[in-house]
């Protein structure tokens, strides 16, 4: 019996944790479509963002689909040029993270090339979706600033053109299977990558200062980390080893159990375009304390935010919460599958229908 489902090609050029979770959710949830998924491993950033049209050169040559979804690591403009049979198809460009608001690492080269790849991709797409208003706004503002630095021959109204075809479609947080255990209001959770863009040195300094004040607390140090432990993690292990109840990237069941047990989840991030880790912890009942910046301003009330990078205020707020109890966890049901699936369904239906009108989904 022939399969009459509409065929969607999903291109994800960097299968890291959040990208993988989104792709897996999308392809398993909307099974009314026939998904064809092509992914590349989440490593070698510079090669991935420029080389994916070459990596997929042969794999895409015979692909027959009705629509294309490409993530923000995909060089969509080049890919459509190399694959003429895909160029005429309706295409959604999904921006997980943009290169205008991503902080430069200590070993990274400052280059506009990744930013230009994303500008070209956005212009090549029929539709653009961002996972937060912060992501959209920082992309559009960064693009306008970069093009404003060019010497001449920049068409007017590019920002308006992209705004017209843009929507806000967050990645849903996955329901956490929290057993009916006892919550520990003194358990502080860190569930981020131990890398420069998450500023773990700020977190470590706050924890060491907090310990020096004599306040009782415990730590769950989760999230991926390099083989050689970064200095902030080493400092915490050496000074606060007796307070650490978990240390490592855990199996999902153990991770969920700690989300359901922790009283507080902390972020010190320098970039966060949606922040799935904190959203998941908040959904499980932990109270977030996050920078007053980035996507967090869309998600959490003032009581849960502190000035970005301000170790003193972070420490003082935590001390008060540990001594008096944290405020209730905020309501984050707006980021759950039940709330977001209808919006995604509408976008996908419009996409495969080939409609080029402005997307009807917009939350920001």
Residue 103 is predicted with a pLDDT of 80
Can you list the domains of the chain with their CATH numbers?
Answer: 7-172+337-352 (3.40.50.2000), 184-334 (3.40.50.2000)
- Angle of CA points 35, 38, 39, to nearest 5°: 130
Residue 362 is predicted with a pLDDT of 44
Residue 360 is predicted with a pLDDT of 41
Could you tell me the pLDDT band of residue 357, with boundaries at 50, 70 and 90?
A: very low
Residue 182 is predicted with a pLDDT of 85
pLDDT tens track for 110-154 = 789 999 999 999 999 999 999 999 999 999 999 999 999 999 999
Residue 338 to residue 325: CA distance in whole angstroms: 31
The per-residue pLDDT of the chain, averaged, comes to 93
pLDDT > 90: percent of the chain:
86
- On the question of pLDDT at 180 being above 70, the answer is no
Cα 262 → chain centroid: 22
Residue 17 is predicted with a pLDDT of 78
Q: Quickly count: other Cβ atoms within 10 Å of residue 242's Cβ.
A: 7
| Averaged pLDDT for residues 223-252 | 95
Could you tell me the pLDDT band of residue 179, with boundaries at 50, 70 and 90?
A: low
pLDDT tens track for 277-333 = 999 999 999 999 999 999 999 999 999 999 999 999 999 999 999 999 999 999 999
Spell 32-53 as b/e; 16+ CB within 10 A means b.
ebebbebbbebeeeeebbbebb
Could you tell me the pLDDT band of residue 358, with boundaries at 50, 70 and 90?
A: very low
């Amino acid at each position: 019996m022939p399969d009459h489902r509409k065929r969607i090609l999903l291109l994800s050029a960097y299968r890291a944790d959040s990208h993988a979770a989104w792709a897996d959710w999308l392809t398993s949830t909307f099974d009314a479509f026939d998904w064809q998924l092509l992914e590349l491993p989440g490593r070698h950033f510079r090669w991935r963002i420029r080389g994916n049209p070459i990596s997929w050169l042969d794999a895409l040559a015979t692909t027959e689909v009705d629509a294309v979804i490409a993530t923000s690591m995909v060089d969509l403009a080049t890919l459509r040029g190399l694959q003429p049979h895909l160029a005429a198809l309706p295409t959604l460009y999904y921006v997980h993270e943009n290169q205008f608001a991503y902080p430069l690492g200590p070993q990274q080269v400052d280059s506009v090339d990744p930013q230009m790849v994303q500008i070209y991709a956005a212009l090549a797409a029929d539709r653009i979706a961002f996972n937060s208003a912060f992501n959209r706004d920082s992309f559009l503002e960064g693009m306008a600033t970069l093009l404003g630095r060019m010497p001449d021959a920049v068409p007017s109204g590019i920002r308006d053109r992209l705004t017209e075809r843009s929507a806000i479609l967050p990645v849903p947080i996955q329901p956490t299977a929290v057993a009916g255990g006892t919550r520990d209001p003194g358990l502080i959770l860190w569930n981020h990558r131990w890398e420069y863009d998450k500023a773990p040195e700020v977190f470590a300094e706050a924890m060491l200062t907090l310990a020096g004040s004599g306040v009782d607390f415990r730590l769950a140090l989760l999230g991926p980390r390099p083989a050689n432990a970064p200095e902030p993690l080493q400092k915490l292990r050496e000074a606060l080893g007796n307070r650490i109840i978990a240390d490592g990237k855990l199996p999902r069941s153990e991770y969920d159990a700690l989300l359901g047990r922790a009283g507080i989840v902390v972020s010190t991030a320098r970039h966060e375009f949606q922040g799935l880790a904190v959203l998941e912890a908040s959904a499980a009942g932990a109270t977030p304390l996050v920078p007053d910046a980035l996507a967090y301003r869309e998600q959490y009330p003032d009581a849960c935010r502190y000035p970005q990078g301000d170790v003193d205020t972070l420490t003082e707020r935590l001390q008060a919460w540990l001594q008096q109890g944290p405020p209730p966890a905020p309501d984050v049901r707006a980021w759950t599958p039940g709330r977001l699936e209808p919006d995604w369904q509408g976008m996908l239906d419009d996409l495969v229908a080939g409609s080029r009108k402005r997307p009807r989904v917009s939350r920001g």
